[in-house]
A and B are shown apart, each in its own frame.
Chain A
Amino acid sequence: QVQLQESGPGLVKPSETLSLTCAVSGSSINGYFWSWVRQPPGKGLEWIGRIHYRGDTKYNPSLKSRVVISIDMSKNQLSLKLTSVTAADTAVYYCAREHTSSSGDWFDPWGQGTLVTVSS
């Protein structure tokens, strides 16, 4: 059974860098795209970006200047870095495995999510 587990600091100061990791078990990172999605408290879902196991990335243009997603094949995990954070970046952050086909891409499974609060 594939499981994803996000981890990282739950509190980040404004202007600093948010750093999260997503540990993947039950599946190799090989062969898939992996995405990050976030959800501010009480609000909807926002796609942050994706990475292919070979390292190709695609980011949401609204966040592109501040986001880096990377993969560590040796640890079977992916990482998210978001720089210059503000209170607007307070959210639950999810990682998800992405499936691709001729009829679209979809996310399954998702990690349980980790809440990151930006506050001084």
Chain B
Amino acid sequence: DVLMIQSPPSLSASVGDRVTITCRASEFISTFVNWYQQRLGQAPKLLIYGASTLQSGVPSRFSANRSGTDFTLTISGLQPEDFATYYCQQTYSNPFTFGPGTKVDFK
């Protein structure tokens, strides 16, 4: 299975901060990486697909990119509604796997 090593497991931040979350894949997975946001008690919500494409309706403060097997999600200017858990996912090979998540909470 492709292992998605996500870091940090958690971070504390303030409104307006720039936040970066990283996922490193254990092997080549091309651009087959997605990012999801999960608020407490809710289903995951797609933010980014294909490593860097912003899903329609998602605010432009969310961005992502890829460098080899390293993938990053950046939130530029954290808003109160962004405090949540974020997951990366690879869909390059079976089984599709998720990172363990990064919980973003209030500093």
Query: With A44-B101, A46-B98, A105-B91 in contact, is A94–B30 under 8 Å at CB?
Result: no
User: Which of chain B's residues have a CB closer than 8 A to the CB of A107?
Assistant: 34, 36, 44, 46, 89
Whether A94 pairs with B96 at a CB distance below 8 angstroms is no
User: Which of chain A's residues have a CB closer than 8 A to the CB of B89?
Assistant: 45, 106-107
Binds A, one of B11-19, B20-28, B50-58, B74-82: B50-58
The B interface, classified by DSSP as helix, strand, loop or mixed, is loop
User: Which of chain B's residues have a CB closer than 8 A to the CB of A106?
Assistant: 34, 46, 49-50, 89, 91
Query: How many of chain B's residues have a CB under 8 angstroms from any CB in A?
Result: 28
Whether A112 pairs with B46 at a CB distance below 8 angstroms is no
User: Which of chain B's residues have a CB closer than 8 A to the CB of A61?
Assistant: 94-95
Assign chain A's interface to a size class: 20 to 34
User: Which of chain A's residues have a CB closer than 8 A to the CB of B100?
Assistant: 44
Whether B33 pairs with A104 at a CB distance below 8 angstroms is yes
- Shortest C-beta distance, B40 to chain A (Å), equals 11
Whether B33 pairs with A108 at a CB distance below 8 angstroms is no
Q: Which residue of A lies closest to B29 (CB)?
A: A104
Residues of B within 8 A of A (CB): 30-34, 36, 42-46, 49-51, 53, 55, 87, 89, 91-92, 94-101
